[in-house]
Structure 1
Amino acid sequence: TKSIVLQIDSKPQAVSASALRRSLQERLSKISSKSSDEIYLKLKTSTAPPLKLIDLPGVEKGNLDDSLSQYVQHNDAILLVVIPAAQAPEVSAAKALRIAKEYDGECTRTIGVISKVDQASADPKVLAACQALLLGQGPRSSADIPWVALIGQSVSIASAQSGSVGSDNSLETAWRAESESLKSILTGAPQTKLGRSALVETLAHQIRSRMKIRLPSLLSGLQGKSQVVQDELVRLGESMVSSSEGTRALALELCREFEDKFLQHIMTGEGSGWKVVASFEGNFPDRIKQLPLDRHFDINNVKRIVLEADGYQPYLISPEKGLRSLIKTVLEMAKEPSRLCVDEVHRVLLDIVTASANATPGLGRYPPFKREVVTIATTALESFKNDAKKMVVALVDMERVFVPPQHFIRLVQRRMERQRREEEIKTRSSKKAVDAEQSLLNRSASPQTGSTSKSLKDGKQDKDAKEGPALKTAGPEGEITAGYILKKSSKTNGWSKKWFVLNEKTAKLGYTNKQEERNFRGVINLEVPIEHSKLNLDVIGYLII
């Protein structure tokens, strides 16, 4: 639509495009060319965000340095750097470009405009500089900025071609004429950067880019406001339905929500739900362990109960009557821990009721109904607590009254199984001792001299020929004697226990550190003269341990 509402001095009025142009020209013509005051133009439409255009004609003269930052520091502000075509060769020295680079170093919201190209059409140097800017081949400070070329008399050109300055289509005609004129002047420049149509397209592209950047934050803000509104509605409460059936349905729905929250606390352990399990698995077993069971199952107390119950001639198989009496007495002590467990669970459930009511959003909207639900649940839990106490007492009494015979049979079976395991352990231990002794005898029957080993036949005398508990004899005629002897070391001047083997036939005495070793560490020849060996068999006998 071409309908435009112009608001001047707070008085809106519908105007056409041509009327708007003439009104702007009349108002701008009254402003002195030497004035440095800002010129504001605000555009609003129902299909696009509002735009505020601010012209700062005094920037080049330095009159607006103090107030300039309040306009250009905003991220949503698009900077239009307008350079006359005659200054294109020296664009790097333009103050407006330096200000734009200062506030927009990445050139993401800056657009360059080369104006009055028609007035410099006779200067090839200027035209070449303009084409370089449009092609992005200008100085480094201007290479990242999109540039658009304009002429200064587009409306006059359109009027000369169409002859209808006052028509509504004069602006569109002027823009088309401007583009055609620029094509003839800047033959090497891109056509998408010529004329006011290209400027409008470039501005629209920048606005869309800025909107895409701002869109996530805008959506986040809207969601935040929506949450605030929902929280306020929850705080104020929804309107109750008018009919009794609707009220009943709403109450039942809130009760179901409360029930779901209550079961969630119980099943998942949320809040205080874990304390229910802790009562059964922790506190209750601890109380049972603290009962004086050792005093009741003391052997003297058991004997006394058996004598009192069965007399001095009890049953031949088992004093069952006395043991039954003992079990009944002990089970009676379990009633009090059971009641305490019920009380503890009851207190935990009361806390869960309060927590579930607070965690139900629907009940929060109706405080009176919430208090009523908590009261009803508390009353029901009180009734359940009384029933639970009666139930646990009845369960204990059932165990006390009926002690099955299988209980005593299992006791006897466990005792017999324990005795069998103990006997097996003793048998294995004695067998190991016998095997070790036999291995010792077999080891003693295998003497060695130097590096030569000789196998001897086992005889009946290797079991009987013993001179003492520390000596072992072997060989057909008992000529081999083995045992531990203390040997004095020449290095340490101390005594150490060694395993010696004496062969009377060969007159040699060998020794090892341990009985299990297969090779002798040393061999003493007993046939050498006494004065050389310094060894006396009587002395050896005294050293045997």
Structure 2
Amino acid sequence: MATMEGLIRLVNALQKACTKLGDFGGDASLPTLWDSLPSVAVVGGQSSGKSSVLESIVGRDFLPRGSGIVTRRPLVLQLYKTEQGEQEYAEFLHLPNKRFTDFSLVRKEIQDETDKITGKSKQISPVPIQLSIYSPNVVNLTMIDLPGLTKVAVEGQPESIVQDIENLVRSYVEKPNCIILAITPANQDIATSDAIRLAREVDPAGERTFGVLTKLDLMDRGTNALEVLEGRSYRLQQPWVGVVNRSQADINRNVDMMDARRREREFFASSPDYGHLASKMGSEYLAKLLSRHLESVIKARIPAIASFIGRSIDGLESELDHLGRPVAIDAGAQLYTILELCRAFDRTFKEHLEGGRPGGDRIYGVFDHQLPGALRKIPFDRHLSIQNVRRVVSEADGYQPHLIAPEQGYRRLIDSSLNFFRGPAEASVDAVHHILKELVRKSIGETQV
């Protein structure tokens, strides 16, 4: 067991490293380490009870609440079980040296960090917030809370918000290493569940999907959810779990979470409909079930993860070998290295231009052969013939005869003659420019300190 707990902690550490390096999956076109790591993505529509399920698993009020889209950035929630009697606390990856023991401040920090990226608007962002909670009341588990699926945009939201949220959620759940926790209210027809619809599209066999039914206590009197919980209404390879969360009145009265867990156990134990399923219902059972499943998935994926890391290391080492030895860390040493590189490049480039290495002779060839050859082809004999000069001069002067010299005519004659030089001159400039760029590339490749 200790070994498996160590595996979850190792995966959590890898996730933190990925986040720091800007690798958090999403729409990346190439496979990344984040995509190789197993995770539990929490998916549900707005007001499905998603936040209440997470808080019940943690045993603390820590998530922002309100109307509309509250979760606007993915929240990577890493839970670490500690010894009984130890103080609970939370840490954010972006505040590594600060511990939060007041969970109302955790809620505020999530809201503030969300606003830093999205502003006060109701936009969403794929950049995750990473939160670790250490508590004796949790199991070792990692979950990713995603924005709630919605059907219509409300005031203050862009028209694309419905599709934007679905694209973000889909970018997580379509990964083969993702475990889907699909949250659906029991007082809603399972056929209309956004979470189940999306899970069915990316996991048609139901192998990666855990179904969670919330609000069982709010169903119409005389009805129950046994068809769903026992897998007859919509079958999954993984079990369905029913939970009973705190009501809004309980939240307003700050009902203790441990007391809410006790009342949830009593609800299932005393229920005539769900009594026979009581041992496999509730948020505590759900957390243990997910933790065990995550451990088994990590164990199965270890060879693939190790192989991916090995290939990535080999690729990076090969690239580093190609780039050369590392630059010194000290700022002064870095500046010295840069200046030495510049001096070496200057020496190599001058050798190409002035002799010792090929290059300068090609520039000389442009002016000694290419340009004179092009100039010799210019039809000056025809352009400067007596007949053409007389015609240009007379057209320039018009009816006003010149007194001393036909200045306008000569100017026009000179301008038209200069136009003959433009083509060969520009071609020569382009040729020299091309040669210089080649020499720069060669000099960079040959520069060594």
TM-score by length of 2: 0.39
**Structure number with larger C-alpha Rg:** 1
